[in-house]
Amino acid sequence: MEIRAIGCEPLSLKRIGVKDGHTLKVYRDMGGYKSLEKAFKMSPADIIEEVKKSSLRGRGGAGFPTGMKWSFVPKDSPKPKYVVCNADESEPGSFKDRYLMQYDPHALIEGMIIAGWALGSSTGYIYTRGEYKYLIDIMDIALAEARDAGLLGKNILGSGFDHNIHTHTGAGAYICGEETALLSSLEGFRGHPRMKPPFPAVEGVYACPTVVNNVETFTSVPQIIEMGGENWRNLGTEKSGGTKLWSISGHVKRPGVYELPMGYADMEKFIFEDCGGMLRENKKLKAVIPGGSSVYIMNAGQILGKNVTLDYEGLVTAGSMLGTGGMIVMDETVDIMESTKNLTEFYKHESCGWCTPCREGTDWLVKIFNRISDGGGRPEDAQLMLDICDNIEGKSFCPLGDAAAWPIQSAIKQFPEDFKKWLVDKAATRNGIEANV
Amino acid sequence: MAAAVPTSYTDKVIVSDEVAAFSPEIVGEMRMHVSKYPPERSRSALIPLLMLVQRERGWIDNPGVNFLAKFLDLEVTDVWETATFYSMFNLHPVGRHHIQICKTLSCKIMGEPEITEHICSKLGIHPGETTDDGKFTVSLVECLGSCGTAPMMQIGFDYHEDLTTDKVNRILAECE
């Protein structure tokens, strides 16, 4: 599987293929922890300003401006502050954070210490999905290296600043990738999300100011400090700064993790040239989910010849979202009713159960999909599912409800023939009377 | 064919007052986890310690739960409340080798159904079941973050990626 940069010098992927790149020695040989030294000479306010200038946006899917998130932490709060890394990577189609942790653990550590300095925090946690146990072991080794070298603990590099980072395991729950559910889980409870406001920056873990950021967001921070926020932003576009890791899977010849400059033009070139084109030469492109399962599905007509640029704005213009950059490519052999059913089962399994619209809605959607795939589809099922999606979207505590609705809404809109096949052509007959179209 | 795994944790619950015992080394490991959090917030260690209990005892049973309640000064119901939420906690015994096949979209379109069919017919069980000799349990699980190397599965904590039926046969043969 490929892991490489295209259209830019590798930044996040700088240590891929470098022997022992995960060790402290090699990290330092390649300039690692120089950003931390530089950061200690800057004021916390200046660091936050630099991150704002970079226009770094959360790489975990929500894309919230990171500098703005950090600035929400109240500087004069007497409570201890926490830095939490969201390594719960569970979005279907996304598989980038695991390679950052495996091959570049010190980049994550350095980014979190800089964040700790900027936010006045002395404790950080790396919340890692339980299935990634081997990565927790790798992070523990890297953290021990950092501690032994005085890069963690008391008076780091003689700065007077104390900071410790601990790993923490999840136990199988996609919802714990949502930052407030993550904090519930970190406290030892069921992974239920919490109402915002208050935002974690004000009241997070243990009701203390907390910044939760994705792995790739933190690993971008040393890069930003090293080259300056504006230079980092200019690697991408005005509103989508820097580079982004894309995870490509499905029916392409070269699936893998690719680092692209934000604004890379365009999605068609990326799929057909950089990723080697369709897996089976005689099967045409049918559908792409560009940013992880929770974004709108796109049909080939929205991509071919449309110059879809790979940045936040470009994907919205094209009718979808960037999300996590987890791109799933599907050829004409995929039945979109079946693929949407598969994702709906995912959201139903992962719904935490707190909110009625999401808990009951995802359950009913799965039941309807089961009836359809058993041959009992009815023409009115499309509207029925859209009505249920309408009752979930925007009406639950957290975005999982929306994420469950969007695949269905976009699939029915972009692939009506696939649904017509199941709902009309194979429509249920009652007492021998054909259902009305 | 083994009996199907109970679908609800209330099925066949064996209620017991027994409290599990762990060696000083394991208790030391548990204390190490507790020390990561503020002293008054030791509940934060609950999920890491449940993982530890499952590692030592194979599953989350009453004696393990009773131990954790005492160790972390929680009610037994507090421990169950958390343990029943997370999919990786086995609320019933599983085979020595827990085969977890990813069923989510990228794996599904890259051949998961054939892999699942192959494993199940080879072992003579359905997803959710355990072989009579207690060696293998097969489960279908959601996205494991390995979409670029689909289809794939996790056995215990080990990832096995880019699966073919031949590779599956080799992997299963190596499981003792």
B41 touches chain A (CB under 8 A): yes
d(CA B43, CA B61): 19
Fold of A336-425: de novo design (two linked rop proteins) (1.20.1440)
List the structure tokens of A372.
Answer: 């359809």
Q: Which residues of A touch B38 (CB under 8 A)?
A: 206
User: A277 in the Ramachandran plot: left (φ > 0), alpha (ψ -120 to 50) or beta?
Assistant: left
Query: Which residue of A131, A134, A186 is in closest CB contact with B44?
Result: A186
Radius of gyration of chain A (CA): 23
Query: Residue A214 has what DSSP assignment?
Result: E
For position A130, what pLDDT does the model report? 98
Q: Provide the pLDDT for residue A424.
A: 86
CATH number, domain A6-233: 3.40.50.11540
Give A257's contacts in chain B (Cβ within 8 Å): 148
Least Cα separation, residue A126 to chain B (angstroms): 12
Report whether A310 contacts A322 (CB < 8 A). Answer: yes
In CATH terms, are A6-233 and A336-425 the same topology?
no
Least Cα separation, residue B126 to chain A (angstroms): 19
Contact B38 A206 (CB under 8 A): yes
Residue-wise pLDDT tens digits, A242-272 = 999 999 999 999 999 999 999 999 999 999 9
A178-183 mean pLDDT: 98
Over residues A130-163, the pLDDT tens digits come to 999 999 999 999 999 999 999 999 999 999 999 9
**Residues of chain A positioned with their CB less than 8 A from the CB of B81:** 189-190
Tell me, what's the pLDDT at B8? 54
Residues 6+ apart with CB under 8 A from A417: none
Instruction: Average the pLDDT over each of A136-150, A292-306, A331-345, A416-430 and give the range with the smallest value.
Output: A416-430
Closest CA–CA distance from residue B129 to any residue of chain A (Å)? 19
Q: Is it the case that residue A127 has pLDDT exceeding 80?
A: yes
CA atoms B34, B39, B44, B46: torsion sign = positive
* CATH number for the domain formed by residue range(s) A245-331: 3.10.20.600
A399: preceding bond cis by omega (within 30 degrees): no
Contact between residue A61 and residue A289 where contact means Cβ atoms under 8 Å apart: no
Contacts of A249 in chain B (CB under 8 A): 106, 110, 147-148, 150
Contacts with A190 from chain B: Cβ below 8 Å: 81-82, 85
Q: Which domains are present in chain B? A: 1-91 (1.10.10.1590), 97-174 (3.40.30.10)
Interchain CB contact of B50 with A (< 8 Å): yes
B126 touches chain A (CB under 8 A): no
Residue A274: its pLDDT value, please? 98
Does the beta carbon of B9 lie under 8 angstroms from any beta carbon of chain A? no
Which token pair is A175? Answer: 């919802």
Please give the Cα distance from A311 to A320 (Å, whole number).
11
**Tens digits of residue pLDDT in A285-327:** 999 999 999 999 999 999 999 999 999 999 999 999 999 999 9
Interface check B73 vs A, CB under 8 A: no
Q: What is the mean pLDDT of residues A348-353?
A: 98
Task: List chain A residues with CB under 8 Å of B106.
Answer: 92-93, 249-250, 328
In the predicted model, is pLDDT for residue A175 greater than 60?
yes
The answer to whether A290 and A367 have CB atoms below 8 angstroms apart is no
pLDDT at position A433: 44
Q: Does residue A82 contact residue A207 with C-beta atoms inside 8 Å?
A: no
Please say whether the dihedral angle defined by the alpha carbons of residues A86, A91, A97 and A101, taken in this order, is positive or negative.
positive
By Cβ distance, the residue of A172, A188, A251 closest to B88 is A172
- Answer whether B148 sits within 8 Å of A334, measured CB to CB: no
Is the Cβ pair B41, A187 closer than 8 Å? yes
Q: Name residue A86's beta-bridge partners.
A: A127, A214
- Note the pLDDT of residue B16: 84
Q: Does B19 touch chain A (CB under 8 A)?
A: no
* Strand bridging mode A123-128 / A82-87: parallel
CB contact under 8 A, B89 and A172: yes
Given a cut of 60, whether residue A388 has pLDDT beyond it is yes
Return d(Cα A50, Cα A222) in angstroms, integer: 11
Task: Produce one character per residue of B156-165: b if its CB has 16 or more CB atoms within 10 Å, e if not.
Answer: ebebbbebee
Share of chain A above pLDDT 70, in %: 97
Range list of H helices, chain B: 24-34, 46-57, 62-72, 76-83, 105-109, 112-123, 165-174
Q: How far apart are CA B85 and CA B65, in angstroms?
A: 14
Report residue A387 as tokens.
């009505």
Which residue, chain included where needed, has tokens 């795939």? A373
How is chain A split into domains, by residue range?
6-233, 245-331, 336-425
User: Which residues of chain B lie closer than 8 angstroms to A334, CB-CB?
Assistant: 109
ipTM of the complex as predicted: 0.95
How many whole angstroms separate alpha carbon A152 and alpha carbon B172?
42
Which percentage of chain A shows pLDDT scores above 90?
A: 96
Residues of chain B with pLDDT under 50: 1-6
A26 burial type by CB count under 10 A (0-12 exposed, 13-18 middle, 19+ buried): middle
Average of per-residue pLDDT values in chain A: 96
